Structure 1
Amino acid sequence: MNPLKRLASQTAIYGVSSVLGRFLNYLLVPLLTYSFAPQSYGVVAEFYAYMGFLAVVLTFGLETGYFRFRNSDAWAPERVYGTVVQTLLVGNLLFLLGALLASEPLAALLRHPEHPEYIWWCAAILTTDALGAAAFARLRAEERAARFAAIKLLEIGANIGLTVFFVGLCRPAFEQDPNSFLGALWDPAIGIGYVFIANLIASLIKLGLLAPQLRDGLGGFQGTLFRSLIRYSAPMVVIGLAGIVNEMLDRAALKYLLPYDDATNLAQLGIYSACYKLSILMALFIQAFRYAGEPFFFAYARERDARAVYALVLNWFVICCVLIFLVVSLFLELFGLFVGPEYRAGLDVVPILLIAGMLLGVYVNLSIWYKLTDRTLLGAGVSLIGAAITVVLLWWWVPIHGYVGAAWAHLVCYASMVVLSYLLGRRYYPVPYEIGRVLGYLALGIGLYLLAQWLTTKANGSSLTVGGAALVGFIAVVAATDGRRLLRRSVRG
């Protein structure tokens, strides 16, 4: 099969589980933001930000290491997989035990002393997800995208169903009659904590479905291979942590950086996090692309036309990202209905976050230079520079500009990482990217958005009409200038 067609088909299947599945999960946002005040929703955002950091550490970077060593001639794929699974199993069980023993002091440190159970539940979710990551990596490497998607969708469906059950059914039943069957299942003291409970149950269901893959990894541990895997993968943890700093530090730090009391800071965090969800389409597309793209880039690297194909992939990727940016930003009034009225004060940050996400996607494409040349330490350096920019800008801008400063910190960080990665890639793994066209697509999308904003606010145009015209205009320009050329090259066998 044509490599671009194979990548596109794999991305589409993974998209069913990540884009469609998480989009369905995104539909929980109205339920939660209409049911809970911003302060309560801020608690969920805060803990999931912490979990984002820990999730990177607890997978030890072994997903990328698995792909790298599985495709080498030195080790049998089964031996690589067994070493990865057993490393994750031992490391995560030790983490879970430590979290259980230290839950009360940790809860007090995070200013939630009355809820040490949040620590227990989040630690259990992290452990199950880390173990599941190894099994999912094997499914991706074997191109069993359908099974991958089915299990992901079942997990997401369980999470959605349980959250709706607890918050949408048990909570109202308790308010009407605490002694009813459903009402008895709701404990007001837990409140927003039912979100964690639903997630944990869904993660355990997922782990049960992945049991056959995990069972295959319980043998074949190799000490020499383990040391090689850790040497290769450890910088990926640094890269991942730096990436999480760039992606989630704002939600972990807003409570401490905003110049108000804890309750107000949590409410501001809740507003920002709910509006952040409105940029989720960009993040989901990038995630689906990552799932399919990482094994594809490794597997296709030995082909003669690999670099030309990688350049064409970036062109298509940017066009799709700009299209997503326009769909969400031009029709933001409609997307804003997905959050409760108390949360809509933060809608202005959504276009900024969409552009930042677009730049992150470009960086994901450009980062193949260090993965394919084993220069992961240099890749870690780029991510660390981005993380440093994020930390400085959050510390500087959030106390002055609030959560808007956090959104701009995202954009500046990813723009800097794109430039650094491109320059380093030109030296270590040159790819003939068509930079002029890529920048042209980005400028066209942003320009159409700004023009639509001006026509809507200054010329009193209908936002839906103007937005629709701008969207059609983008598609028409791309089709006229590049559509035939890109299609002709993508179908060439």
Structure 2
Amino acid sequence: MNRYKKLGWNTLIIGLGSMGSKFMIFLLVPFYTFYLSPAEYGQADLIMMTVSILIPIVTLSIADGVFRYTMERASKKQVFSSACAILLIAGLILILLTPLLKTIPMIQDYYWLFLLLLLVQLWNTLFQQQVRANGKLILYSVSGLLMSAILFVANLVFLKYLHLGVDGYLYANLLAFGFNTLCLFFGARLYRLFSFRAINKPLLKKMLIYSLPLIPNAILWWVMQVSDRYILTFFLGVAANGLYTVAAKIPSLLSMINTVFFQAWSISALGDKIKNNDSFFAGVFTIFSSLFFVATEVILLIVQPFASILFSSAYQNVWQYVPFLLIAVIMSSFSSFLEVSYMVEKKTKQLLFTSLKGSIINVCLALLLIPFIGIIGASIATLVGFLITWLLRMKQTNFFGQLEHKIVFWFSLGLLLAQSIYLSLISTPNLWIQAIFAVALLIGQSIVIKQIVVRKRKVQVSNN
């Protein structure tokens, strides 16, 4: 199996599970808008986002070390057992800190649910990375599909029939993540990999040297993705954050694609030790960027009628915050693509420079723009932050010179940005103007796709 087919197969298998659960979360957004007020949705989202940022901090990002060193064919038992030791200590510390943590206003009313969610997701993150590194992608996918089904049923029961509000939202997520964690643990027989005797301090030290720089990187990445919501809440209240959260769910369609691809891409890149100067690296990026450009154009065409049909009246205008967030997801995805080259080289420290610059710009712009232009200021700040990060990584990896079809690439990116500005300023988009943007982009991408097909045929002929 050649490298393209192997990458495609891994993407398909991971996508069946990951896309199922992530797409279910997306489909539940209209449901949430009917059963949660903007203030309630904003509160629930802040709790879940707080859990997500605490995971790499509390675990020292050890799950990333597990994936990297398992892929390097180190002893699975020693790698897994050493990581479990970190999580056991982390869990104990969290429990001991309960009297202090319960005083935090944002989570005070939901503390025990918050703590359980955090503990469950700590182990879920570790188990997912171990299962993925072990190559058990079918189990990974099936457990994801089952998790999405449980999430749907639990939300239906807790929100629609029991009317539990924010509590119901958190209960549903706890039940779904708890099931997924147990499914991975027993399905992959991870209990066979754990032993206190297998804890290897020298190996653990190597893993931490690799994973520790990823903690500030994860924090800074989170700052660019989520900090705007805290700033919005501070200046405009939790209701504004609820609106912004719903708007951000639409670009999550692109984030789903990126998450699935990144998981498959990291397996291929680490397994085959693919570097950024490899022609395969540039070829995959060309296909990846073309897919994202076309998908973004499709969403821009349908975002306004889509929002009016699916969301309740309280959320009708959120679509105007979406275009800049879509471009931000493109920039984030391109940055993640290049991140794999840092992982291959074990140069995780260099990621900090790019993430730090982008996050500082993001926060500064959010503080500057949100008080004056409101929610759309958060969208602009997020876009600029990820754009700076991506450009810095392009420069740091010397990828500008290896970029294929440069004219079409920059033309397509500029076209999408211009269309986003147009949609954000116009309350009722003109269909003809939208069509012009779409046709121009599709013509450009069709040229790229045609050249990819021609090149592939030439390779096949030369191999025969």
Question: TM-score normalised to the size of structure 1?
Answer: 0.84
Match of 2:306 in 1: 335
User: Which of 273, 292, 297 is the equivalent residue of 1:301?
Assistant: 273
User: Which of 272, 293, 296 is the equivalent residue of 1:325?
Assistant: 296
Counterparts of 2:386 and 2:263, CA distance in 1: 20
Match of 1:272 in 2: 244
Deviation at 1:134, TM superposition (A): 1.9
Match of 1:432 in 2: 402
Match of 2:448 in 1: 482
Q: Is 1:168 matched with 2:160? A: yes
CA 334–85 in structure 1, closer or farther in 2 if over 3 Å, else same: farther
1:65-112 deviations in Å (ceiling 9; x for gaps): 223323446x323322222233223323432x1454335312xx32x6
Q: Is the 8 A contact 1:456 1:462 kept in 2?
A: no
Q: How does 1:306-385 map to 2 (within 5 A)?
A: 307-336=278-307, 337-385=309-357
Counterparts of 2:419 and 2:228, CA distance in 1: 29
CA 489–301 in structure 1, closer or farther in 2 if over 3 Å, else same: farther
Deviation at 1:168, TM superposition (A): 1.7
Counterparts of 2:326 and 2:262, CA distance in 1: 17
Q: How does 1:56-205 map to 2 (within 5 A)?
A: 56-72=56-72, 75-95=74-94, 97-98=95-96, 100-106=98-104, 109-110=105-106, 115=109, 118-171=110-163, 190-205=164-179
SS in 1 for 2:390: helix
Counterparts of 1:138 and 1:363, CA distance in 2: 24
CA 277–455 in structure 1, closer or farther in 2 if over 3 Å, else same: closer
SS in 2 for 1:433: coil
Q: State percent identity of aligned pairs.
A: 21
Q: Is the 8 A contact 1:39 1:267 kept in 2?
A: yes
Q: Is the 8 A contact 2:127 2:181 kept in 1?
A: no
1:342-372 deviations in Å (ceiling 9; x for gaps): 1122221101000000011111122234222
Counterparts of 2:371 and 2:423, CA distance in 1: 31
Counterparts of 2:147 and 2:341, CA distance in 1: 34
Question: TM-score normalised to the size of structure 2?
Answer: 0.89
Match of 1:217 in 2: 193
Match of 1:442 in 2: 413
Q: Is the 8 A contact 1:394 1:405 kept in 2?
A: yes
Counterparts of 2:421 and 2:364, CA distance in 1: 29
Counterparts of 2:454 and 2:202, CA distance in 1: 47
Q: Is the 8 A contact 2:64 2:211 kept in 1?
A: yes
Match of 1:182 in 2: none
Match of 1:185 in 2: none
Match of 1:409 in 2: 381
Counterparts of 1:300 and 1:472, CA distance in 2: 38
Deviation at 1:335, TM superposition (A): 2.2
Q: Is the 8 A contact 2:328 2:386 kept in 1?
A: yes
Deviation at 1:46, TM superposition (A): 1.6
Q: Is the 8 A contact 1:311 1:431 kept in 2?
A: no
CA 474–455 in structure 1, closer or farther in 2 if over 3 Å, else same: farther
Counterparts of 1:33 and 1:308, CA distance in 2: 46
Match of 1:183 in 2: none
1:30-58 deviations in Å (ceiling 9; x for gaps): 12211222111111122122122112323
CA 454–99 in structure 1, closer or farther in 2 if over 3 Å, else same: closer
Match of 1:46 in 2: 46
1:348-398 deviations in Å (ceiling 9; x for gaps): 110100000001111112223422222211211211111111221121111
Counterparts of 1:448 and 1:390, CA distance in 2: 22
Q: Aligned partner of 1:315: which letter?
A: T
Q: Aligned partner of 1:268: which letter?
A: A
Deviation at 1:252, TM superposition (A): 2.6
Q: Is 1:35 matched with 2:7? A: no
CA 145–440 in structure 1, closer or farther in 2 if over 3 Å, else same: farther
Match of 1:20 in 2: 20
CA 374–344 in structure 1, closer or farther in 2 if over 3 Å, else same: same
CA 85–421 in structure 1, closer or farther in 2 if over 3 Å, else same: same
CA 37–364 in structure 1, closer or farther in 2 if over 3 Å, else same: same
| Greater alpha carbon shift after TM alignment, 97-106 vs 40-49 | 97-106
Counterparts of 1:77 and 1:302, CA distance in 2: 22
Q: Is the 8 A contact 1:83 1:221 kept in 2?
A: yes
Counterparts of 2:134 and 2:366, CA distance in 1: 41
Deviation at 1:234, TM superposition (A): 0.2
Q: Is the 8 A contact 2:323 2:421 kept in 1?
A: no
CA 93–3 in structure 1, closer or farther in 2 if over 3 Å, else same: farther
Deviation at 1:451, TM superposition (A): 8.2
Q: Is the 8 A contact 1:308 1:431 kept in 2?
A: no
SS in 2 for 1:105: coil
SS in 1 for 2:193: coil
1:262-309 deviations in Å (ceiling 9; x for gaps): xxx111111111111111111111111111111211112268x97111
Counterparts of 2:146 and 2:47, CA distance in 1: 24
Q: Aligned partner of 1:311: which letter?
A: A
| Greater alpha carbon shift after TM alignment, 228-237 vs 359-368 | 359-368
Deviation at 1:210, TM superposition (A): 2.0
Give the CA RMSD over aligned residues: 2.7
CA 431–93 in structure 1, closer or farther in 2 if over 3 Å, else same: farther
